[in-house]
Amino acid sequence: MLWTTASLASEPDLDALIESLARPAPATTDFVEVRFSVLLAEPVTAGGQLEYHESGALVRRVETPYRERTELLGERVVIEREGNPPRRFSLDRAPELRALMASFGALLAGNKTVLDQHFEVAVAGQPDNWQLTLRPRDRKLARMLSAIVVDGANDSPRCFRLNEKDGDASIIAIGTTQVADLPQPLLRPSLEAWCTGQ
């Protein structure tokens, strides 16, 4: 069932759901990312923290299996990896990062207007087990990314899933600290089912 402004009062509508996800900056949460690629026999994993700052900056701090800090602010990206000089580039070169920043930042800010600028937004489910689907409006990005799917319960997201047009996907488990906390072995169908609460 879709949550809309016409839904029953006992069920939050889309605006209410997004507003409930807002977190005051600065906000930090643990994550584990699992990257599936049709070119790889095994998924690639990384774990660390996602940080949202008052400036609007989104920081992805990887602590395992390597150490790396990626900061996205405005149109600028800075990547600092242990043992290497910092790399700087524009989000024009990384539209998938722009999409992640727009979606994650807007949800943490509870800003549906920003989400609507970048995505067609739909919500399904129940308050204790919902799913947001964000489809890119930008045609260039839409050729690469079919959708960002956010699974969650009540006022907490559980997973961000970036589904790419070529069949690759990144699944980011929010609030998870270790790969061992995820369903083993790491298979995409079982991890997607875990994200949806099945």
d(CA 3, CA 106): 19
Query: Which pLDDT belongs to residue 22?
Result: 85
Is position 8 within any domain? Answer: no
Q: How many domains does the chain have?
A: 1
Is position 142 within any domain? Answer: yes
Query: Which pLDDT belongs to residue 183?
Result: 95
Single pTM value for the model: 0.87
Q: What is the pLDDT of residues 22-69, one digit of tens each?
A: 888 788 999 999 999 999 999 999 999 999 888 878 899 999 999 999
The domain of 37 spans 14-195
Domain containing 121 — which CATH number?
A: 2.50.20.10
- Using the Cα atoms of residue 20, residue 176, residue 33 and residue 153 in order, give the sign of their dihedral: negative
Is position 170 within any domain? Answer: yes
Is position 125 within any domain? Answer: yes
